[in-house]
Amino acid sequence: MTAAASREAFGSRAGFILAAAGSAVGLGNMWRFSYQASEGGGAAFVLLYIMMTLMLGIPLMLAEFGLGRRGQLTPIGALRRLAGRGWARIGYVFVIGGGLILSYYSVIAGWTVRYAIDSIWHGFPGDSGAHFASVASGSGAIAFHVGFMAATIAIVMAGIKSGIERVSFVLMPALFLIVVGLAVWAFTLDGAGTGYTVYLQPDLDELLNPSVWRAAAAQAFFSLSLGMGAMLTFASYLGKDQDLPGAATIVAFTDFGVAFVAGLVVFPVIYSLGLQGAVSQSTVGALFIALPGAFDAMGAIGRVVGLFFFVALAVGAITSTIALLEVVAASVIDEFGISRRTAALGAGVAITLLGILPATNLDLLGLMDKIAGELMLIAGVLVISILAAWILRHEVAEELAAGASPFWRRQVPRIMAVLRWFVPPVITVILLVSLKETIAAIVAFGG
């Protein structure tokens, strides 16, 4: 029995789009985006981020969709089948990158669950810095990480249609409702205006800062789940009749929309209480300190709002962790021909064990995010653009046209031209900036 003969598939187009959007919408949108925006000059970052999503993100997502549906296999097998053995090695790097991201991502997801539970039982503590330090260390951090991974493993074991697709159908609409509701509430806060100004009024100096460019591009890749074969894997479960460009556009706009609206919650809340200083206290923990501090200062209403906020984060996180584990598990299934249950369990347990390291060491977590969540993704999208637009140009163009609406079919040559001439050079520059910064971060970690 070959993997292709028994390949699973999504039950519906909406199911695929919700699952892909579920993978994209996650901690990246609500925690990482707001943090990056506050570091990168607020609105300047937001503006660059929109540009990166449109000019790089959507074409790259299409490159992954095209390669995945064409290959009908996960990254390793698809690259081997389409481009030869040498490329399959890059597929391994993708899968390892996905495993690395999942190992620390689940740790952060565990914090969100813990904050949500805490808000029910005793509200948000006055000293949110000390509270975060205790949440993000010791056996508690490990326990919540293990719990989150257990839930992830259970869903992936259930399969594409009855696991991932079904969960996304329920959770994604719930998440939209909560985030929009929170943004409406944040609008009513006294002093929300300052938050909006910082968030939406660009600082022109920051617009020309290469670091902000690098940060905006890396954030776009992370948030759209690009550069490690996740979208490639999802597309491998699709039929030829699906409109790939249409789907990519919906997924990218949904992802941007949730990040943007989450910013409309985070900035007013933090600025209305004058807590912006707390955001730069610690890189990974920023929002886990500043926001709970604000919720605490708001009393009872803060407790309710905080509960919804952290529940939304946890919901976004689980639809992403299942996608991350899916990439690793599906690769194991395709490569070794073992059952889904065994593959999901085996890969999940290995990643859970690896995650114990970042669960107990915040600096390591930050470093892993820089290496696997930025540098490897940037290198990954560069490889994908070259593969899709230089080496497998005709195959990918054909794939993007198949099933596309007449409008999108006419755009395919343009999309391919962007992927061929624009995307690789821009990403090469971004990769060099990122390389420099990552080396500095590794040196700082060692010293």
Binding site for ligand TRP (CB under 6 A): 23-24, 26-29, 101, 222-223, 225, 228, 230, 320, 323-324
b (16+ CB within 10 A) / e for 61-74:
bbbbbbbbbbbbbb
Nearer to ligand TRP, 82 or 101 (CB): 101
Q: Which residue is nearest to ligand TRP (CB)?
A: 28
Nearer to ligand TRP, 141 or 231 (CB): 231
Give the residue among 2, 1, 11 at the shortest CA–CA distance from 237: 11
Nearest distance from C-beta of residue 109 to ligand TRP, angstroms: 9
Nearest distance from C-beta of residue 270 to ligand TRP, angstroms: 20
CA dihedral defined by 387, 389, 392, 394, rounded to 10 degrees? 170
- CA 316 vs CA 31, 357, 369: distances in Å: 11, 23, 18
Both structure tokens of 408? 């999108």
Tokens 């329920």 found at = 170
Nearer to ligand TRP, 285 or 403 (CB): 285
Both structure tokens of 241? 């009749």
DSSP-derived secondary structure for 260-271: HHHHHHHHHHHH
Both ends of the chain: CA-CA distance in Å? 53
Nearest distance from C-beta of residue 323 to ligand TRP, angstroms: 4
CB 264 within 8 A of CB 182: no
Nearer to ligand TRP, 223 or 331 (CB): 223
Nearer to ligand TRP, 33 or 196 (CB): 33
Sign of CA dihedral 61, 63, 66, 68: negative
Nearest distance from C-beta of residue 184 to ligand TRP, angstroms: 23
Nearest distance from C-beta of residue 98 to ligand TRP, angstroms: 6
Nearest distance from C-beta of residue 322 to ligand TRP, angstroms: 8
Nearest distance from C-beta of residue 127 to ligand TRP, angstroms: 28
- Residues with Cβ within 8 Å of residue 445, at least 6 apart in sequence: 363, 364, 367
Nearer to ligand TRP, 228 or 312 (CB): 228
CB 243 within 8 A of CB 74: no
Give the residue among 97, 78, 113 at the shortest CA–CA distance from 310: 113
Nearer to ligand TRP, 23 or 36 (CB): 23
